[in-house]
């Protein structure tokens, strides 16, 4: 299954809804390209909704870390929402959850900006 990325903007907040697998290959490249394009266009507030992501491998995790790092370097914020329990647990075990801003829902993430 490929990764579908639905993008919308409202009040300068860019919302990305991901669906599928965030893994090595075209999926990873597509996500990285989307983030790079947003940052190049001046986006500073990005919400990544992971509700419909059913699998993230180490390459996908690297893409999320890279997106966070690049957004922060541009003076922006990237928030992850709707983390599935197993993914959230994996981030906690790897001691990576603390580097990300997370929110239980997309609405609370948007309100947090």
The sheet carrying 13-22 orders its strands as 4-10, 13-22, 45-56, 77-81, 101-103
What angle, rounded to 10 degrees, do the helices at 58-73 and 26-40 form?
10
Residues 4 and 6: their CA atoms lie apart, in Å, by 7
Give the bridge partners for 22, in sequence order.
56
DSSP state of 98: G
Per-residue pLDDT of the chain (113 residues; tens, 9 = 90+): 689 999 999 999 999 999 999 999 998 999 999 999 999 999 999 999 999 999 999 899 999 999 999 999 999 999 999 999 988 888 888 888 899 999 999 999 999 89
pLDDT for the residue 35: 97
pTM: 0.93
pLDDT for the residue 1: 63
pLDDT for the residue 67: 97
Give me the CATH code for the 4-111 domain, please: 3.30.750.24
Other Cβ atoms less than 10 A from the Cβ of 102: the count is 17
pLDDT for the residue 94: 84
pLDDT for the residue 32: 96
């Amino acid at each position: 299954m490929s990764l579908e990325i639905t993008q919308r903007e409202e009040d300068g907040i860019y919302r990305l809804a991901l669906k599928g697998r965030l893994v090595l290959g075209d999926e990873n490249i597509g996500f990285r390209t989307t983030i790079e394009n947003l940052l190049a266009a001046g986006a500073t507030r990005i919400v990544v909704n992971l509700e419909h992501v059913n699998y993230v491998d180490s390459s996908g995790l690297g893409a999320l870390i890279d997106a966070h790092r690049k957004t922060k370097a541009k003076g922006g914020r990237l928030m992850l929402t709707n983390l599935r329990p197993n993914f959230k647990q994996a981030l906690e075990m790897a001691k990576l959850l603390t580097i990300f801003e997370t929110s239980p829902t997309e609405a609370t993430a948007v309100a947090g900006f």
